[in-house]
Amino acid sequence: MKYVYWFLGLLVGIPVLLIAIPIAASELGGEVVTLERPEEAGEPSRIRIWIVDNEGASWIEHGDSDSYWMDHLQTSNEVILDRGGQTQSYEGTADPDSHDLYHDLRRQKYSWADQLIELFSGGRESCDGVPVRLQLSDDA
């Protein structure tokens, strides 16, 4: 009977670990901001994501080119983030040409956590996310 319990423990425990490890790495690996992302239903959702900065600009990556949020960004470029306890409004622009730059900056900033996330997600080669370049809005 002891072996049945071990087997059941592994059967449940391994999937739980495969879900928990990337979540823990993303939350504990460094700065996490909250994106207020518009949804088709009208109510925004709050998504926790990583952010990187370089030469006065910031980038986030959440969504592929077919996602509603990326389509919405073309008609309304306002991006609202809660960063460090402050809500800030940015002008966001899809920036697919910065994909490698985004991943390089992410590796520098998030180090071990980024390596772990890439291990679980297949790496930057299989990433279909589109980086969004952020500039603080003039009215911020």
pLDDT at 17 over 80: no
* Most confident among 7-11, 39-43, 75-79, 107-111 (mean pLDDT): 107-111
Tens of pLDDT, residues 57-95 = 999 998 888 888 888 888 888 999 999 899 999 999 999
Tens of pLDDT, residues 28-48 = 778 999 999 888 887 888 999
pLDDT at 140 over 70: no
Q: What domains appear along the chain, each with residue ranges and CATH number?
A: 2-136 (2.30.110.10)
- The per-residue pLDDT for 139 is 57
Buried b (16+ CB within 10 A) or exposed e, 56-92: eebbbbbbeeeeebbebbeeebebbbebeeeebbbeb
- Confidence grade of residue 3 (pLDDT, cut at 50, 70, 90): confident
